[in-house]
Amino acid sequence: MRTPRPLARRTALGLALGGVALGAAACVQGEDSTGAVATGGAGSGSGSGGGDTVRLDYALYNPLSLVVRQQRILEDAGLTVVWEQSLGSNRANEFLRNDNLDVASTAGSAVLQARANGSPVQTIAVYSQPEWTALVVGEGSTVTDVAGLRGARIAATTGTDPYFFLQQALAEAGLSGADVEIVNLQHPDGRAALERGDVDAWAGLDPNMAASELTAGSRLLYRNVDFNTYGMLNAREQFIEESPELAQQVVDAYAQARSWALENPADLQALYAAEAQQEDEVAALVLERTGFVDLVPGDAQAQVLEAIIPLMVETGDVRSEEEARTALEGLFAPQFAQAASS
């Protein structure tokens, strides 16, 4: 078992970038009832697809969103941006379903589930191919494999990639959700429950997973990158239909952020550490497990999602295989990423 070791201090660059982010937050123009913050821009659109206001999420599981926000890429292009933090794919899907946001980031499994269950959303870009989840046990756990979790209490956030990762891992080990007790907790709460010993295992999500490994001695019991679905940027269909030019500007901003991230890995690490309020070692581990792939959604993502449809049906997370396959057939709107400038 890995012995916890002290973490290096955050770099001066990270602190500087954090200061920039805090400075930007201090200059906001307004805040809505959900806590979303509007920044920059010359316009005063409705925020529902009209004018030059766009409503976006940012999330620690989506590093490119942090770059777009911190560098004010869209604000500098003249847009007013209303930012809302997503703590998990389930929250991002809620924001889209309730018309609180125009564009939000989820795992591929989560957006497929949402669309199959009637949410009118489409994927306009792929922001990462991550290994952001694994099954985690606490320091001192004697469990050595997934089969050993029979009868265990396992924390997971339903409707997110860690939840579907857990279901796939259990099935591979000859178990099902009925053989364990799944405790529905948001990702940070799942980590806390694991470290307190309130649960036996946790379907983790970075950066909480990396931080728990490095600071609490938690251990990755089971890893499988093929069970991690892609990070996908999704938009409401109404927004796509009514404001395709704004959807294009958002994807263009992601293309710019991707190029910057690939060219400036040290700066990205410092930015991530500052935004996540984690040490450099945690940020490095998260980004080591994150691949910035081509933005265009297509066959690679479809194959991963098609493979989990039977499991989604078996667990009752979608109503039928037919609805899930129909949802997948119409999920991607690749034209924006295909036209994106970098």
Any residues with CB less than 8 A from the CB of 89 and at least 6 apart, and which? 61, 105, 106, 107, 109, 110, 111, 157, 159, 160, 161
State the DSSP H helix or E strand holding residue 129, giving kind and residue range, or none if neither.
strand 121-130
Q: Determine the pLDDT at residue 159.
A: 87
Asked if 201 and 135 count as a contact pair (C-beta separation under 8 A), the reply is yes
pTM above 0.75, yes or no: yes
Q: Determine the pLDDT at residue 184.
A: 97
> Per DSSP, what are the bridge partners of residue 137?
219
Angle, helices 63-70/265-276, rounded to nearest 10 degrees: 90
- Please give the Cα distance from 247 to 240 (Å, whole number): 6
**What does pLDDT average to in each consecutive run of 10 residues of the chain (342 residues)?**
36 35 32 55 41 92 98 97 96 97 97 97 97 97 98 95 95 96 96 98 97 97 95 98 97 98 98 96 97 96 95 93 97 97 58
What is 277-290 written as a DSSP string? T--HHHHHHHHHTE
Phi, psi of 251 (to 5 degrees): -70, -35
Reference 229, options 295, 161, 134; nearest CA is 161
Cis peptide before 130 (omega within 30 of 0): no
- Please give the Cα distance from 55 to 104 (Å, whole number): 9
Q: Determine the pLDDT at residue 91.
A: 95
